Structure 1
Amino acid sequence: MSEIEKIHKYIDEHFEDHIKRIQEYLRQPSISQTGEGMKETAEMTRDYLKDMLDAESTIDSTPGYPVVFGKLKSKTSGRWMFIYGMYDTQPVEPLDEWTSPPFEANIVDDRIIARGALNSKGPFIATLNALQSVKEVTGDLPFNFVFGVEGEEEQASIHLPDWAKKRESELKRCEAMGMWIPSQAIPGAPPALLLGLKGIVYMELECKTNPNDVHSSMANILPNPVWRLIWALNSMRGQDEVLIEGFYDTVEPPSPEDLELVDKYSELLVKAMTASYQVENYRGENLKAMARNLIFKPSPVNIDGIVSGWIGPGTKTITPGKATVKIDIRLVPKMTTDEVIDRVKNHLKKRGFEDLKMRVLGAYEWVKVSVRDKISQAAIKTFKDLGYDPVVMPMLPGSAPFYLFTKPPFNMKFIMSSPGHGGRVHAPNEYLMVDGIKDFEKYIASFLYNYAET
């Protein structure tokens, strides 16, 4: 029996304990928007690194929630890899839509249902399970590892850049970074090799027209902040295109290779990626056009929510004094967050909305790696070793703070693909399929050896 076969056998034999450990972590709340359980989860994460892997681990304070730092040395390898993780989650509301309580991590129909099951406390512990399995079987690891597990990803990682500077000497050793997530869009579908992530700008616009709400009988002579926001938003976007001047100027056209890949898997990209949300309505009918739009175009000015006035039961006739809207825009190569922010500011000023207060709440740049890079080729080989024929996806429509580590001064390559399935991220009944976790862990173990051979 080969060494990797022994590791896979160890995962099979200890899988029940691995699932229990994932459930244990998911039962600890960690909601960064409210602070619930954040301190306890940071300590729990630190202890996992120490107890499972015998890693040097500590909690690095920041002005917000801390980053859990870890370092684990190999006895034989001189190469270093960075493992990024996040221990915070989104809120659980609306609570009454959960079929199983969000912090009980019950297994229902082979699904662990919990907030953070897929995004991404579940995959993080599964990653540690894989590393522990390698170490238990071989007594060593094929790489040295640095860990950075933050508590503010759902808050746009606002203090992670400063943390990266603080840990610059350790991070500069790392040639690559990994954050593995299950990439089978639906059970039984092929996993996806994800080569990139869109960037994002998340901002808030506020309009205040009066010091207080006013009786609605005055509406004929008073400005309404909700209408001003509606008019401002309408000026920024048409039905299908963003109307902000210069918005598309730096968008890089997709390569013929990327177009071929997206066209080949258009149904999987559109239908399968939205399946767990029970989506029925789409903006379009042609699957090929929708898939190209999803992957290659910057997102339109997406409205995340508007708050103003009275929406309680019964009536309250007022003209509101203030209205606030949260919006996000997803970026593709070669857009930058700074240029998008400047263009939104200039647009609002030019259109007469300079009275609106604009606050940037978060910004990530896009990232991309070539399918021909050695880390991508090691991933493809690993999928095939486990019997999978992966789909190569040029970009994932989502965003993450990987750019901090893939751009100077670190210039790491990244990997984020694995077998497994989960769904309903940021929604009630978020889940991770138990059946896929075993191959998830085996994949990480095998990938490390395949990549170490490059």
Structure 2
Amino acid sequence: MSHLQALDQYFSNNREKHLNELFEFLRIPSISSLSEHKEDIQKGANWLADALTKLKIENVTVDQTSGHPVVYGEWLHAEGKPTILFYGHYDVQPVDPLNLWESEPFNPEIRDNKLFARGASDDKGQVFMHLKMIEALFATEGTLPVNVKFIYEGEEEIGSPNLPAYVEANKEKLKADLIVISDTGLYAPGKPAVCYGLRGLTGVQIDVRGAKGDLHSGLYGGGVQNAIHALADIVTSFHDEHGTIQVEGFYDQVRPLSDEERKAYRDLNFDEEALKEEVGVKELFGEKGYSYLEQTWARPTLEVNGIFGGFSGEGIKTVLPAEAGAKITCRLVPDQEPNEIVALLRKHIEKHKPAGVEVKVSEFDKGAPWITPFDHPLIQAAGKSYERVYNVPTAFTRGGGSIPIVAAFDEILQLPVVLMGFGLNSENFHAPNEHFHLENFDKGLRVLGDYLHEVATLNFK
């Protein structure tokens, strides 16, 4: 019996047991951005540490940081074989708006072979797959084909503010040959993908202040600046009519796509009509001269995530608002640097500030973009493992989203990073009714197990 056949039999026999265990993990409301869930974050860390200990992983610790805990463990008995460092996160996004959920976000339900719960896809379900894959290899082979280490954090959803310092302080402990992360997705249903690049992230809040308080729009309107009007002018100045960013210098450091990459993206035959139907729009919109995949994988963005100010209750209130604000995020690509982009934003906002208001710019999360050559042997090996289980060619893609710690791993540990995810873009992570297709849960377990065997055959000398 091959190792894949043995894994298949084990996972089939233990599927219900494994799902029940995953339900336990998903019931913990480990929301990192809300202080009232600090104890739940600790529960999530303890649950993971206990699960690793039950697997006979050694030196398991729950390491406190100035924020939320980091969970670590290791098994280093595959003499002469490579070491894989597995990373993931056990924190989740808030669940608002709660009324849009069809089931309780922390009471997992299976409907149509999809597991619904906050964290089901991002990232508890995929972290759990790491654990069960290790369990299966121990059960079917009595050992592991490679050495393994684990590092799971509770702050990914708030930008991993404390993990870089933890990694820097523990470089020797985290020493490995590669890092495997399961926090990305497939290219499409039934179409596996290895992600070889991620966009970075930086964010600001713009606060506009006019008069010392809201004013009567009949007495003062037309003579005193309206803070919302001023904010609208600033926001409108960020793009032209085609969506091209108008911040001076914004594109200066953008690494152009290679001809090979552009051809690879064209060969994926992306279905724009299906995308329109999926998201409910009649036409797409974006920077001219680039395909949708190029726009969302390899070009930077500047998005307004929220605007606030004035009166928004039922009916009408005739005021001239004194304050207004907007939250802005930018997705960055190689070789853009987050701090440089913030400096350009500040300069642009000051230049386009209307008369009669003061503007304050506050900085938020930052994460550098990351990319690795998609012909790297470890990337190609991951593609082979996907193909053995899914029985179709693997796509090599970039991710439009951000995993802030990936660039830090690359810089601090100087290790190749392999992103082996099993989610789908349609699974509502960060939104109500987050879910995980169990078909990919099942196949992903087998892919990960096969990949450990594939890595064991590579020459790391």
TM-score (norm 1): 0.92
Q: Show the 5 A alignment for 1:324-403.
A: 324-352=325-353, 355-403=358-406
Q: Which residue of 1 aligns with 2:445?
A: 441
Q: Which residue of 1 aligns with 2:303?
A: 302
Q: Which residue of 1 aligns with 2:98?
A: 95
Gaps of 5+ in 1: none
Q: 1:372 to 1:58 in 2, by over 3 A?
A: same
Does the aligned pair in 2 maintain the 1:67–1:150 contact within 8 Å?
Answer: yes
- The separation in 2 between residues aligned to 1:278 and 1:17, in whole angstroms, is 38
Q: 1:221 to 1:288 in 2, by over 3 A?
A: closer
Q: Show the 5 A alignment for 1:114-153.
A: 114-153=117-156
Does the aligned pair in 1 maintain the 2:168–2:412 contact within 8 Å?
Answer: no
- The separation in 2 between residues aligned to 1:242 and 1:419, in whole angstroms, is 32
Q: 1:125 to 1:385 in 2, by over 3 A?
A: same
1:248 paired residue among 251, 257, 260: 251
The one-letter code matched in structure 2 to 1:442 is: R
Deviation at 1:272, TM superposition (A): 6.3
Q: Show the 5 A alignment for 1:127-276.
A: 127-171=130-174, 173-181=175-183, 183-187=185-189, 189-217=190-218, 218-239=220-241, 240-268=243-271, 270=272
SS in 1 for 2:248: coil
Does the aligned pair in 2 maintain the 1:21–1:125 contact within 8 Å?
Answer: no
- The separation in 1 between residues aligned to 2:240 and 2:88, in whole angstroms, is 37
Superposed CA deviations along residues 120-143 of structure 1, whole A, max 9, x for unmatched, are 111111121111111222232233
Deviation at 1:30, TM superposition (A): 1.4
Does the aligned pair in 2 maintain the 1:80–1:146 contact within 8 Å?
Answer: yes
Superposed CA deviations along residues 52-102 of structure 1, whole A, max 9, x for unmatched, are 343322222222222222233234345322211111111111212111221
- The separation in 1 between residues aligned to 2:157 and 2:123, in whole angstroms, is 11
Q: 1:151 to 1:443 in 2, by over 3 A?
A: same
SS in 2 for 1:328: strand
Superposed CA deviations along residues 202-261 of structure 1, whole A, max 9, x for unmatched, are 221111223433333323333222222211122222232100111111111111110011
1:414 and 2:414 matched: no
- The separation in 1 between residues aligned to 2:216 and 2:387, in whole angstroms, is 67
SS in 2 for 1:90: coil
Deviation at 1:305, TM superposition (A): 0.6
Q: Which residue of 1 aligns with 2:18?
A: 18
Gaps of 5+ in 2: none
2:107 paired residue among 104, 107, 115: 104
TM-score (norm 2): 0.90
- The separation in 2 between residues aligned to 1:285 and 1:409, in whole angstroms, is 34
Q: 1:213 to 1:47 in 2, by over 3 A?
A: farther
1:47 and 2:69 matched: no
The one-letter code matched in structure 1 to 2:8 is: H
SS in 2 for 1:168: coil
Q: 1:266 to 1:332 in 2, by over 3 A?
A: farther
Q: 1:391 to 1:3 in 2, by over 3 A?
A: closer
Deviation at 1:390, TM superposition (A): 3.4
Deviation at 1:185, TM superposition (A): 4.5
- The separation in 2 between residues aligned to 1:344 and 1:115, in whole angstroms, is 34
Q: Structure 1 residues 283-292 or 339-348, which shifts more?
A: 283-292
Tell me the C-alpha RMSD between the 2 structures.
2.5
- The separation in 1 between residues aligned to 2:111 and 2:95, in whole angstroms, is 18
Q: 1:418 to 1:155 in 2, by over 3 A?
A: closer
- The separation in 2 between residues aligned to 1:21 and 1:174, in whole angstroms, is 29
Does the aligned pair in 1 maintain the 2:164–2:408 contact within 8 Å?
Answer: no
Deviation at 1:275, TM superposition (A): 6.8
Q: 1:213 to 1:55 in 2, by over 3 A?
A: farther
2:71 paired residue among 68, 83, 93: 68
SS in 2 for 1:196: strand
Q: Which residue of 1 aligns with 2:294?
A: 292
Does the aligned pair in 2 maintain the 1:142–1:452 contact within 8 Å?
Answer: yes
Does the aligned pair in 1 maintain the 2:230–2:353 contact within 8 Å?
Answer: no
- The separation in 1 between residues aligned to 2:274 and 2:135, in whole angstroms, is 33
The one-letter code matched in structure 1 to 2:201 is: I
The one-letter code matched in structure 2 to 1:235 is: S
- The separation in 2 between residues aligned to 1:84 and 1:278, in whole angstroms, is 34
The one-letter code matched in structure 2 to 1:51 is: K
Deviation at 1:186, TM superposition (A): 4.3
1:425 paired residue among 416, 422, 429: 429
Does the aligned pair in 2 maintain the 1:113–1:429 contact within 8 Å?
Answer: yes
Q: 1:223 to 1:102 in 2, by over 3 A?
A: same
Does the aligned pair in 2 maintain the 1:197–1:367 contact within 8 Å?
Answer: yes
Superposed CA deviations along residues 4-36 of structure 1, whole A, max 9, x for unmatched, are 432332222212211112222111111122232
User: How many aligned positions are there?
Assistant: 450
Q: Which residue of 2 aligns with 1:79?
A: 82
The one-letter code matched in structure 1 to 2:228 is: V
Superposed CA deviations along residues 162-185 of structure 1, whole A, max 9, x for unmatched, are 2222222222x1221111246335
- The separation in 2 between residues aligned to 1:174 and 1:408, in whole angstroms, is 14
- The separation in 2 between residues aligned to 1:335 and 1:404, in whole angstroms, is 12
- The separation in 2 between residues aligned to 1:106 and 1:279, in whole angstroms, is 29
Deviation at 1:287, TM superposition (A): 11
- The separation in 2 between residues aligned to 1:225 and 1:142, in whole angstroms, is 63
